[in-house]
Structure 1
């Protein structure tokens, strides 16, 4: 805890602060490994996967985001887009009843998309990107050359209620008492059976099962960046060279950004407006 923070009450629990500090130190001191571990030598399938819970009500502005990636077909990429029904069928077929039931316990489309991406990438490997992310045209071929997990680091400032630019939080030593460091769930790029993806899938499953008789669980902590970051910590915290397991995408915004504003962000399809609330599927497009 730095001097600035010592004069203020920490808004995070001790566990949350330790997790944030781990991510900060890992991200800011990251260096590419000298070699790739044998288990990650296999290339990742050049497959881009999207999810939208109801494709009959896909907003035009979201579809434009999805279409921005199609230029990569010229570079040999394939595309798949799943809705709630096809995602459930995939999980049922490849993972079984327990995981299908966990998917059904996801009460909001954002949770379903989180849970599905962990399921799909664990089973098949590939590249999952949110449907509202826009591709800017920079090559992504190098992310598929080895099977390590590739993730984008994020930093949120509680005091200003805003995201912190990567150019501000990535430099070594950058920190404020109000900053929370974590990993985003998009993009999610990895080889099949990656141990971190397997861990977050199991942790999300257990979290959903635990909460099914209580109030609706918090989205971020149950299927989102909170449980993803916690799972990463569980897998690599004691590793001497965690960079051998995952690659930090320090400047992902050069490749893709989440588009704001979009029509769906103004209604209950935006998880921030539906967090821990019953979700109605009939929404305006």
Structure 2
């Protein structure tokens, strides 16, 4: 048996299961965030989860440069009060009283870091965020708050594309490159799939005409994880291959694994994850080690 697969089997039982009863929703009050919040609330209702809402802010240096030092804390308090009221108004646009938990306003210079620190402190099991699409040059170069949160979060992150409409999730595809650490994310994925009553599909996109070699390598009959189907797709583009696969199979969510590797490898994988997240019109569920 291939060493990667053997190690996945050996590590599978050591991965912490997931119940997905507590969801954190960070918002910037944008239209895409409003739509993603509606999606998250309907998901929470389906699985009996609680959803908490947070927004993160900071005061630009130009706004405080000429203020007395003792006024700075007061300015933060005033802004927190304004944003708390804004959060309440934001949530009132969606019928979510039965699943809504708490509101939180956090102050910090680095939004993804504040979100992930809060998620870790309160032990959330899922973060749901909206994506706007990579339309401007800075976002293409730097990514977004959503993708930076994906890279740092202590739990899975579900990125909901702009305009996504919630329907019961029946099929989740896991795109695998046969990573040594597949077991970590796969066990969480299976837990999530069971929680929402969905089937799990495994797919690998092979960009070279080596279907036979890949098929032998993975030894599908011995693959230790529960799945409805395992497909190897041959396509010169991983993204287009996944697009075609999801369309053909009627996939509702795509799930990806973002490994902690050496810097250049991590940049490559995070770049693909970011591109796929902004490219697809399906929600993307991201795991990392």
Provide the TM-score with structure 2 as the length reference: 0.30
Higher relative contact order (Cα pairs below 8 Å, separated by 6+ residues):
1
TM-score normalised to the size of structure 1? 0.31
- Name which one, 1 or 2, has greater alpha-carbon Rg: 2
Structure with bigger strand share is 2
